[in-house]
Chains A and B, each alone.
Chain A
Amino acid sequence: MAIEISNRLGLANVKSDFIHTAGRKLEDIHERLLELEAKGEVKVIHVKEENKAIEAETLLGWKKKIPTNKLWHHKSCGQCGNIPGYPVSLLWFMNQMGLEYVDERNQTSCTAWNYHGSGTSNPVGLAAVAVRNWHRAYELGLFPLFHCATTFGDYKEMRNLLVENKELRDEVRRIMHKIGRELVIPEYIVHYSEWVHVMRFEIAKLKKYDLSSVIATVHPACHTYKMIPEDCIYDKDIYAGKRTAVSTGVMLALGAQVADYSTWYDCCGFGFRHILTEREASRSFVMDRKIRPMVREANSDVCITQDTGCTTTLDKNQWIGKAMGYTEQVPVMSDVMFAALACGADVFKIVQLQWHTTDWRPLCEKIGIDWKKSEEEYNAYLEELKAGGKTVNLYEYPKS
């Protein structure tokens, strides 16, 4: 197949039959994991038929099964307090599609915040926390789905370290026995954006608005695709297989235009500690390396993210930029939040854009969403709750 270019704005839907090997010759950790299982060294959380997996291709052309049903939600400790519409939008889609899942209190953070807790943990602690959470999904008979990119990167790293190091396995196994659990490792470490990616055509069937005039710029998360890159989804029909396909894939499936910009590969500026301790660096990075190129080069209507820290950094740091003459502004939301908006989810009750700082109302108006009506209904709902009314939840909890 010859290279086919149909998107005047950039590379997003360039197709190619080129296989992206990037010169890497790596051992498939998945095979080694199954060998350890055969020797009785570890238990494996397998993708079962009831998980209704959809297969995707990774950077090196390996197959990765993405389970779509009977999932255990591993929430993000930076996301739930700050961007509640992020997990809500994901669960909302699963309800729309009649899929089964569990969201519960019996989960901890991966504790890898700022990556490896800025040195405040160690490989044994990080691996034991990972296995503890994996085991919780295992005992419920569910497959874990990780919401956070840092968790995704950390858990991929911990899985690899556990597979490669007997001493680490022995130590983690000892700790697991102490807390009444076992050493289990998922067959695949799966990020929510991979679920969104493989479900993108099902998501597109729910679309309520014409998005052909919306120009999106995608910011991929470092901890999603730069860590253990051989385990990330690439697609020969998206960026010609040269960049990770997640997030861009769902935007194209929804019919939005995905525009390229020169700093696509740059991080968001969060810095994994700098957002609190070197804030000027984060702010400058956001405006100079991300928002300004997105607006000036691509005339972007929306910045699409796939992680907690990126969404926070890119959204919150635009306001202060005005003080230094940065007039460019673009609303920021994750792929699943944008998809939920496009599929008719309520702006306030589900997508929860009211918590965001950069103005998202012009985007809603461009799409044709009546956000004012949604705001009125939400405010009335808050009054009902204040008067003792009950919350309308996405699921029953605890299940009887």
Chain B
Amino acid sequence: MEYDENGVSIVPAELKKDIFEEARKDFRYEEYVRGCLNCGVCTGGCPPHRFFDFSPRIVLQKMKSKDPELIWTMMDEYVWACFQCFTCAMICPFLNSPGGVIAILREIAVRRGFESAKKVLKPYSRVLLKLTAYGNQLSPDMIQPDFFPDWGPHIGYASTDLAVKRKAIPMPTLQVTNLAWDVAPETMKELYDIFDEAGVFKIIESVDPSLYEIIQDIVDDVRSS
């Protein structure tokens, strides 16, 4: 994002207003943003508040301000600091859900292909691929020392004889190495139809076009099988 000499982001006011309206028109908004007493209970219990410049109280206050500029200041790094643990929602005396507001703002950031969203999601390419193309996520062959060196030497356990170790698991669905469980192709096809109809593939395309192409190749192969 670019800033002027006063530290204000150089973005057309119309875009900021659009984003503000998009968030407020979301059908979940009224459920997530109710009255706020500014009591700060949410921030007091917020786990990421201990480590990041992030406060659910500020999220609520900015949303209630009706100032598009204030919402815009949260759209880059700020919204990605949240843990999405929903501690705030559980303890808010007014039943607000700052975590829910963050979910809406993240969806907007991804849907509009913001650079900050692309940067945050880049390390998740493999996860997005497994999830979108196979209906699955963390596969056994993803857990390798070069990806998780800080998890210690034992992480290499999955590197040797993985196929036979997986075969020894007494659940037939789990006896594969490239998926968390063996998903049937017909099941994947249903998922693709859902993603087509709900616009999920389009979202992936806006945030990572090259990943989208890889996913579509797999989708085409499975659909034609």
Contact = CB atoms under 8 A, between A and B. Distances in A.
B27 A118 contact: no
A385 interface: yes
Contacts of B120: 118, 273, 277
B200 A80 contact: no
Contacts of A108: 135-136, 183, 187-188, 190-191
Contacts of B108: 119
Given A226-B89, A357-B152, A393-B170, A272 B84 contact: yes
Contacts of B150: 279, 283, 317, 319-320
B131 A273 contact: no
Contact of A114 (B47, B84, B180): B84
Nearest to A59: B90
A285 B180 contact: no
Interface stretch (A45-53, A123-131, A210-218, A297-305): A123-131
B3 interface: no
Interface stretch (A9-17, A183-191, A330-338, A347-355): A347-355
A292 to B, nearest CB: 14
A382 B48 CA distance: 43
B170 A24 contact: no
B152 A81 contact: no
B128 A382 contact: no
A194 B99 CA distance: 25
B194 A81 contact: no
Interface residues of B, number: 84
B194 A77 contact: no
Interface in B13-29: 27-28
B200 A265 contact: no
Contacts of A226: 85-87, 89-90
A240 B205 CA distance: 50
Contacts of A378: 168
A276 interface: yes
Contacts, number: 259
Contact of A320 (B151, B169, B198): B151
A61 interface: no
Contacts of B85: 222-223, 226, 267, 272
Nearest to A129: B194
Given A357-B152, A357-B155, A349 B170 contact: yes
B148 to A, nearest CB: 7
Contacts of A284: 51
A271 B48 CA distance: 8
A382 B166 CA distance: 10
Interface in A136-176: 153, 161, 164-165, 167-168, 174-175
21 contacts: A79-B180, A82-B143, A103-B172, A104-B173, A107-B183, A118-B106, A122-B107, A122-B198, A122-B199, A175-B193, A179-B190, A222-B83, A222-B86, A226-B86, A272-B85, A319-B154, A354-B157, A357-B155, A391-B169, A393-B170, A397-B172
Interface of B: 27-28, 31, 45, 47-48, 50-52, 80, 83-87, 89-90, 93, 95, 103, 106-111, 117, 120-121, 123-124, 127-128, 131, 135-140, 142-143, 148, 150-152, 154-155, 157-158, 161, 164-175, 179-184, 186-188, 190-191, 193-195, 197-200, 203-204, 207
Given A120-B121, A273-B124, 18 more contacts: A80-B180, A81-B180, A120-B128, A120-B200, A122-B107, A128-B197, A222-B83, A265-B87, A273-B80, A276-B127, A285-B47, A317-B150, A349-B170, A352-B169, A355-B158, A386-B164, A393-B172, A397-B173
The 9 closest A-B pairs by CB, nearest first: A319-B152, A108-B135, A119-B106, A125-B198, A77-B137, A119-B110, A222-B85, A115-B84, A81-B180
